[in-house]
Amino acid sequence: MSNRTVQRVHRGARIALTAVALTAAVSAAPASAAPSYQPVAPIEAAYYAPGPWAVAERSGADCCTSTGDPYDIWYPADLGTGVHPVITWGNGTMAHPREYAYLLSHLASWGFVVIAADRTDTGTGVQMLDAVRYLAEQNDDPSSVFHGRIDVGAVGAAGHSQGGLGALNALARGSGLVDTAVPLEMPLAAVCSSLPPVDGQSACVDTSAITSGSVLLVNGSADGISPGTQTLPPELIGQQSMQAYYDALPAQVPKARAALLGAQHNDIQGQPGCTNYSCTEGVHRYLGYLAAWFTGQLRGDSAARGAFLAGTGEFLHNPYWTEQASTITR
């Protein structure tokens, strides 16, 4: 891989590229406007549209993680009289929450309180768990806008690149604090040894430690940093693909996975086009199924969960996705 190519790869993978030789080339398309997109399946279409809540944002006003980082929060502007599930977000290496604002605002429009520590190395999950605890404290604080409005029993973790490792680690290390994890474009396992530990914890994921909750693994089919499959078995080279991570999750953990056709490592940052990042599709093709997954897993919506059912779910048959698999049965 040439130096020019390395410079054009998403910042969340720079450390990875200097630490490991990737088996697949990473292409970096020139900036261009994303094509128009219309969902082809009904559940995706329902959640691709903005949700019923207007969204408010707090940027840097909330502090701090155990490592001193402030939070950005997207949430329903009218929190009403009910409670709202939490999604804690992990950034890619050298990335900040604002680079994911389109996605995080979309999730908030579906009634979630989305919190992201402004931290550029989130692979251990430490700051993501801190964020959940912060919102639990706000829920108990009579002076907070979030007082009595946080569903502390319904928490999801999601993240991009290194933040995807953080999402799985938050599920594994959170002692039940996190209910579901969604790693997006998570790097192959060989990368984790190059990432700095936080509070003595590694970014490497021990899949055997994930004994509860659920997992949705998402990558792009054109993302060599987050490959879908590997040629050598994990017994020889470790978990160097999304398939290997998926297979290594314990059998009792409900799980699903798929690759978005044509998407590259940082399409998730296209807001919603690809004018600022090296990508091909932008964030829009991720929106529907991510909102549906969290609605199903954290709100118990059976129709949303139905999109991911093993064998019959529309996510498994959507032509814009490939390498689909699921063990979701209800």
Convert the pLDDT of each residue in 19-30 to its tens digit.
Answer: 322 222 222 232
Mean pLDDT rounded to a whole number for the chain: 87
Helices 101-108 and 284-299: crossing angle in degrees, nearest 10, is 40
Residue 33 has pLDDT above 70, yes or no: no
Measured CA angle at 201 (ends 197, 207), to 5 deg: 115
Please answer whether residues 50 and 56 qualify as being in contact, where contact means their C-beta atoms are separated by less than 8 angstroms.
no
Predicted confidence (pLDDT) per residue in 184-230, tens digit: 999 988 888 788 787 788 888 999 999 999 999 999 999 989 999 99
* Amino acid sitting at position 315: F
CB-based burial, 279-317: b 16+ in 10 Å, e otherwise: bbbbbbbbbbbbbbbbbbbbbeeeebbbbbbbeebbbbe
CB 146 within 8 A of CB 139: yes
Give pLDDT, residue 24: 26
pLDDT at 195: 82
Q: Compute the Cα dihedral for 161, 40, 247, 300 and give only its sign.
A: positive
The pLDDT tens digits of the residues spanning 248-287 come to 999 999 999 999 999 999 999 988 877 666 677 789 999 9
Strand-pair partners of 322: 259
Greatest distance between any 2 Cα atoms in the chain: 56
Question: Mind listing the pLDDT tens digit for each residue in 102-151?
Answer: 999 999 999 999 999 999 999 999 999 999 999 999 999 999 999 999 99
Q: Is residue 32 scored above 80 in pLDDT?
A: no
Residue 15: pLDDT above 50? no
pLDDT of residue 276: 65
Lookup result for tokens 């559940």: 43
- To the question of pTM greater than 0.85 for the whole model, the response is yes
The pLDDT, as a whole number, for residue 174 is 96
| Count of beta carbons in the 10 Å neighbourhood of residue 134 | 22
Q: State the burial class of residue 25 (Cβ atoms within 10 Å of its Cβ: 0-12, 13-18, 19+).
A: exposed
pLDDT score of 29: 30
**Predicted local distance difference test score (pLDDT) of residue 181:** 98
